[in-house]
Amino acid sequence: MAEDTYLLEMRNISKSFPGVKALDNVSFRLRKGTVHALMGENGAGKSTLMKILFGIYTEDEGEIYIEGQKTKFPDPKTALENGVSMVHQELNQVLQRDVMDNILLGRYPQKGFFVDQKSMYEFTKKIFDDLAINIDPRAKLKNLSVSERQMVEIAKAVSYNAKILVLDEPTSSLTQQEIEHLFRIINLLRDRGCGIIYISHKMEEILRISDEVTVMRDGKWIATEYAKNLTTDMIIKLMVGRDLTNRFPPKTNKPSEVMLEVKDLTGRYRPSIENVSFDLRKGEILGVAGLVGSRRTELLETIFGIASYSEGEIYLNGKLIENKDPSTAIENGFALLTEERRATGIFSMLSVRFNTIIANIDSYSKYGVLNGKRMKEDTDWVIKSLNVKTPSQNTLIKSLSGGNQQKVIIGRWLLTDPEILLLDEPTRGIDVGAKYEIYQLIIDLANRGKAVIFVSSEMPELLGICDRILVMSNGKLAGIVEARKTTQEEIMTLAAKYL
């Protein structure tokens, strides 16, 4: 096919960072009016390649052509002005401002010397109406759910009349209903001639929404194929370089006596959870399902002491406890992996070692002196046992891929040797190989007698590794089902119970 039929060509792109070659002679081509999936394990170089396109990084070698014209964007602003938009996996938003402020940041309409608020509202409302997004343009961003904020970011990208739109893990925080809505938006943009680059680890989505699929591995291009010619197993083999016969490890844990009892727990400040009761057994993996707004995260935060409760009781091994704050919760043997890795998980400007040992820092101190040798040994253990890809312990964690950042945070909590792990979307934005490793790790912990509460928006993984699934609906407990006996339909019916 002639070169001028491509909307975008990235030719022989290479990029190195200290201690690692992120991209090695990678080429990528996007046709107008198509969805082109970009796949690979964490650290394969997908996001780096797109950040070069978007002007965040500068390539060491290679060339970029848009509609046949050689192009090089010095910064994201220039990329946006030239019709290239990117929705990042980790949202960069001004939470204290309203929605329309975030949509029009840096390009406010003026009315004389003042910002034209009426025009801002009308502009934002028109985009939302066009995309069937039901969000008030004047709402404060901090009051929106993660999924609503994701939709705002997608609308912002579309608002630049982008001819090339990069979506990096756009469904990682969305429910199935919202994914369907996003796919309608993508199909609308594709029909308008927009070229969409879709980065995701969700195989079923890729095969459904994509026209073409490019797979990368270890910073290199591996293959580009039409999606209709691929299967999930074929994609996995290209990604990991080997056959991965099962998506989930064998379930070998055997729940025993009750470890945690939650009775009539109600959050102090609304909206929150209401009269939630359940028990959690030693060696059990308890899934938590629900639609956005079901208060799954609020349930974990209330148990962990981030959010307070006005009614209810929590018993650990038969003893009444009160996790007044996260410090008390940690002392009581709890650990919480938060949903928003970037906002509440990592210390982005600090090293892998710091991020690994920080929750367990008191154990390294004697007479006010930190034991550097033990901190190094523990960080080494996390890197090796969780297969963290990092040039060194001293590498800034922000330079690691999202999946490797997640592994560091999981390792951080393992070092505290918790009895109960509260995991909020632990595999969000993580590739299939790394997911399997994390599933195995969770099952291994359950085998050691730890108890796990596992929040996920991905129904297959809840059914695949959990023993029971607790379903939340609008802050209330809608039911608890046995994972091996239930169906996705039953879970969805329960999730809509109190809507």
DSSP track, 30-79: EETT-EEEEE-STTSSHHHHHHHHTTSS--SEEEEEETTEEE--SSHHHH
Angle at 358 between CA 355 and CA 364, to 5 degrees: 130
Residue-range domains of the chain with CATH: 3-240 (3.40.50.300), 258-495 (3.40.50.300)
Burial class (CB in 10 A: 0-12, 13-18, 19+), 458: middle
- The pair phi, psi for residue 418, each rounded to 5°, is -75, 155
Chain-centroid distance of CA 279 in Å reads: 28
Please, what is the end-to-end C-alpha distance for the chain in angstroms?
A: 52
Cα separation, 122 vs 141, whole angstroms: 18
Cα separation, 285 vs 40, whole angstroms: 28
Mean residue pLDDT of the chain comes to 89
Query: pLDDT per residue over 422-464, tens digit each?
Result: 999 888 767 777 788 889 989 999 999 999 999 998 888 999 9
- State which amino acid sits at residue 181: H
Place of tokens 């929590």: 314
Give the number of other CB atoms < 10 A from CB of residue 22.
24
Query: Does the pLDDT at position 120 exceed 90?
Result: yes
196 neighbors 36 (Cβ within 8 angstroms): yes
* pLDDT of amino acid 243: 59
Ranking 51-55, 168-172, 179-183, 495-499 by mean pLDDT, the lowest is 168-172
For 110, what's the count of Cα atoms within 13 Å in the CB-facing half-sphere? Answer: 4
Query: pLDDT per residue over 332-383, tens digit each?
Result: 999 999 877 766 778 888 999 999 999 888 888 888 888 999 999 999 999 9
Cα separation, 176 vs 67, whole angstroms: 35
Coil, helix or strand for 261? strand
Over residues 183-197, the mean pLDDT reads 92
315 neighbors 263 (Cβ within 8 angstroms): yes
312 neighbors 266 (Cβ within 8 angstroms): yes
Give me 269's structure tokens: 């400040």
pTM above 0.75, yes or no: no
Over residues 88-92, the mean pLDDT reads 74
Place of tokens 């990991």: 240
424 neighbors 251 (Cβ within 8 angstroms): no
In our burial notation (b when 16+ CB lie closer than 10 A, e otherwise), range 477-488 reads bbbbbebeebee
Cα separation, 171 vs 179, whole angstroms: 6
Contacting residues for 219 by C-beta, under 8 A, at least 6 apart? 21, 22, 23, 24, 26, 44, 45, 48
DSSP state of 175: -
- pLDDT band, residue 107 (cuts 50/70/90): confident
For the beta sheet containing 35-39, the strands, ordered from the edge strand earlier in sequence to the opposite edge, are 84-87, 164-168, 195-199, 35-39, 212-217, 220-226
* pLDDT of amino acid 2: 42
Q: Which among 185, 201, 187 has a CA at the least distance from the CA of 152?
A: 185
* pLDDT of amino acid 173: 66
Which residue has better confidence, 410 or 240? 410
Which residue has better confidence, 53 or 176? 53
44 neighbors 217 (Cβ within 8 angstroms): yes
Q: Which among 413, 398, 416 has a CA at the least distance from the CA of 343?
A: 398
